[in-house]
Chains A and B, each alone.
Chain A
Amino acid sequence: MKKFLFYCALTILIAFIFIGIFADLIAPMDPDAINMANSLASPSAEHLLGTDHLGRDLLSRLIYGSRSSVFIAFFATGCTLLLGLTIGLVSGYFGGWADQLIQGVVNIFQGIPSTAFVVAVLGLLGPGIKSLLIAIVVSSWARFSRVVRNQVLGIREMHYIEGARAMGGSNLYIIRRHVLPNILLPLLVLIATRIGSTVLTVAAMSFLGLGLRAPASDWGIMINDAKLYFVNDFRVLLAPATCLTLFCLSINLIADYLRDHLDNDADTARIL
């Protein structure tokens, strides 16, 4: 059952990525083409999901929306990972004063509520994709680095690390061959959950008008646009909200499955 859910979730995720990449080819219409005469139209052969308050094709906007939402999420998580991983590795592996300094900074960053933090950074830098990326990275690297550091601290004590050092392995060699492969698994789970929550953050910021700006297609903006009209036509809210929920749900299911199944792959032979 879990396996089935996992494959469903994976299919959905891949579909979203695929749709995002090939948005130009898949979208039936220009997402920004306004047709006031045909606003809030119900689904028809021409507009499969109908149109929004400006008469723009809802399906096309969803498709382009998945491009911006999904890609900002992946890109931002990638940047966060890079920063958090580097800092966490340095902190955990080398220890000493560098560790204490870094942990001090991490504590400060972790003390600030992340949504408020993102809003504050966006307020400082002004809205836009670039500032949204920076805001997300700045607000979430600390947690990443802490997880990495804790993993590294556990692995640092293992005999195989000492053995590699006794054989003359440099720090870089040990990190690359012995530390990284062994912390990757718990990281993978964290990355998956982060991607999900980043999509939500992007949507929330766009909803608040701090992220992407109209008329760009984005699920958050679409929800924002819908807030005046959903009483008349629930469809305009339901469509982007469904996409958002589906995406986050599939990410979380994947993370859940990975955590359950990758951890205990080998050690079945040692029950006796």
Chain B
Amino acid sequence: MDIRVEDLYVRFATLSGDIEAVNHVDLTFSQDQITGLIGESGSGKSVLGLTIMGLLQSNATVEGRIFLGERELISLSEKDLCAIRGREIALVAQNPATSLNPSQKVGRQIEEVFRLAGEGKVDSTRRTHELLERMGFSDSERVMHSYPFELSGGMCQRILTAIAVAAHPRWIIADEPTKGLDAVVRNQVYDTFCMVKEQYNVSLIVITHDLLLARKFCDQIVVLYSGRVLEINTAQAIFNNPRHPYTQGLIASLPHLGMRPMPGFSAAFTDQPSGCVFHPRCPYIDEDCRKIEPKLIPVEEGSVRCHRYS
């Protein structure tokens, strides 16, 4: 079933004023697809992921609706959400080094998932073995008895993913799976996700600032900036024919594609520009851009939020 986000708005109350992290976002994550949420720090991409999981801090105000199939998630109680988390939507957290318990053997941390699902000790151990083998660990016995620090970064990431798929969720949300990793490990992570996708038939949402990973791995890409969706399109189209000036600038910033810098900085949350959020940095700025906020309009197979296409 699809995940549908309707008119989602998330605000944080902080000492330095209210922060609008997600600003009226409408999105559909289609089943059996890999959707990449790309954006830079402060674009609201991680907040969007956490909102779907219902894991925001207490100072957040959420408005709008999120549907998982026919069920609306925001109005659910914490107890009902717990039944969905892990079983229907699982999260692969950002940092494998800190997301695993350093003082517990890896095997026990995976078994916990089965134990929580009500299985006996012997069965849990057996299923953990199966799971590890399915995840491509040839020596599952040794891995089970290792502590996280005895494994490489790529292996830890695979363990985290294993924990996420253990309960056969329909959806996995991966938050910055390649942040701070070397090229070799990054490729391993990519391979892991490909395998999971194939073996478990899950749908994925990948939250990342790694454009190359997004292009290689995702079917559909959503570009976020200042809490707004600026462009949605297939991965190929986003890279071969970026429509929004921000997407164009982002791709041109990649080292192997010219590394041409965009002018200016992302807008501060407390001081957002009027009209189009990107207008202070846009090379095609027009009178309308300063005053009227553009709508997300469909263009061919994708959609884009820019006056130039209306």
Q: How many residues of B contact A (CB 8 A)?
A: 13
What would 14 A/B residue contacts be, using CB atoms closer than 8 Å?
A268-B14, A268-B15, A268-B16, A269-B16, A271-B12, A271-B19, A271-B57, A272-B12, A272-B19, A272-B42, A272-B44, A272-B46, A272-B47, A272-B269
A268 to B57, CA, bound (A): 13
Q: Interface on chain A toward B: helix, strand, loop, or mixed SS?
A: loop
- Closest Cβ neighbor of B47 among chain A residues: A272
Given A268-B15, A271-B19, 8 additional A-B pairs, CB 8 A:
A268-B14, A269-B14, A269-B16, A271-B57, A272-B41, A272-B44, A272-B46, A272-B47
User: B229 within 8 Å of A by Cβ?
Assistant: no
A contact residues vs B (CB 8 Å cutoff)? 268-269, 271-272
User: B21 within 8 Å of A by Cβ?
Assistant: yes
Per-residue CB contact flags for chain B residues 38-65 toward chain A (1 = under 8 Å, else 0) read 0001101011000000000100000000
Nearest Cβ on chain B to A272's Cβ, whole angstroms = 6
A8 to B12, CA, bound (A): 33
CB-based contact B21/A272 at 8 Å: yes
A75 to B46, CA, bound (A): 52
Which residues of B are found within 8 Å of A269, using beta-carbon distances? 14, 16
Q: Which 4 A-B pairs have the closest CB atoms?
A: A268-B15, A268-B14, A272-B42, A269-B16
Nearest Cβ on chain B to A268's Cβ, whole angstroms = 5
A126 to B66, CA, bound (A): 77
Which residues of A are found within 8 Å of B42, using beta-carbon distances? 272
Question: Which of B15, B41, B44, B46 counts the most A-chain CB atoms under 10 A from its CB?
Answer: B15
- Closest Cβ neighbor of B269 among chain A residues: A272
Which residues of A are found within 8 Å of B16, using beta-carbon distances? 268-269
Which residues of B are found within 8 Å of A271, using beta-carbon distances? 12, 14, 19, 57
Which residues of A are found within 8 Å of B57, using beta-carbon distances? 271
B:15-33 near A, CB below 8 Å: 15-16, 19, 21
Nearest Cβ on chain A to B11's Cβ, whole angstroms = 12
A269 to B13, CA, bound (A): 11
Nearest Cβ on chain A to B169's Cβ, whole angstroms = 26
A271 to B41, CA, bound (A): 11
Which residues of B are found within 8 Å of A268, using beta-carbon distances? 14-16
A269 to B12, CA, bound (A): 11
A268 to B270, CA, bound (A): 13
Per-residue CB contact flags for chain B residues 241-273 toward chain A (1 = under 8 Å, else 0) read 000000000000000000000000000010000
A269 to B57, CA, bound (A): 14
Which residues of A are found within 8 Å of B21, using beta-carbon distances? 272
A271 to B16, CA, bound (A): 12
A268 to B13, CA, bound (A): 10
A268 to B269, CA, bound (A): 13
Which residues of A are found within 8 Å of B14, using beta-carbon distances? 268-269, 271
Which residues of A are found within 8 Å of B46, using beta-carbon distances? 272
Which residues of A are found within 8 Å of B44, using beta-carbon distances? 272
A234 to B21, CA, bound (A): 63
Nearest Cβ on chain B to A242's Cβ, whole angstroms = 39
A272 to B47, CA, bound (A): 7
Per-residue CB contact flags for chain B residues 55-79 toward chain A (1 = under 8 Å, else 0) read 0010000000000000000000000
A268 to B41, CA, bound (A): 15
A271 to B42, CA, bound (A): 9
Which residues of A are found within 8 Å of B47, using beta-carbon distances? 272
Nearest Cβ on chain B to A67's Cβ, whole angstroms = 41
A43 to B305, CA, bound (A): 82
Nearest Cβ on chain A to B42's Cβ, whole angstroms = 6
Question: Which of A268, A269, A272 counts the most B-chain CB atoms under 10 A from its CB?
Answer: A272
Nearest Cβ on chain A to B25's Cβ, whole angstroms = 15
B:144-180 near A, CB below 8 Å: none
- Closest Cβ neighbor of B46 among chain A residues: A272
Which residues of B are found within 8 Å of A272, using beta-carbon distances? 12, 19, 21, 41-42, 44, 46-47, 269
A268 to B16, CA, bound (A): 7
Nearest Cβ on chain A to B291's Cβ, whole angstroms = 27
Nearest Cβ on chain B to A187's Cβ, whole angstroms = 25
- Closest Cβ neighbor of A265 among chain B residues: B15
Nearest Cβ on chain A to B266's Cβ, whole angstroms = 11
Per-residue CB contact flags for chain B residues 122-156 toward chain A (1 = under 8 Å, else 0) read 00000000000000000000000000000000000
A269 to B14, CA, bound (A): 8
- Closest Cβ neighbor of A271 among chain B residues: B12
A73 to B209, CA, bound (A): 56
Which residues of A are found within 8 Å of B269, using beta-carbon distances? 272
A10 to B270, CA, bound (A): 35
A210 to B2, CA, bound (A): 79
Nearest Cβ on chain A to B16's Cβ, whole angstroms = 6
A33 to B21, CA, bound (A): 72
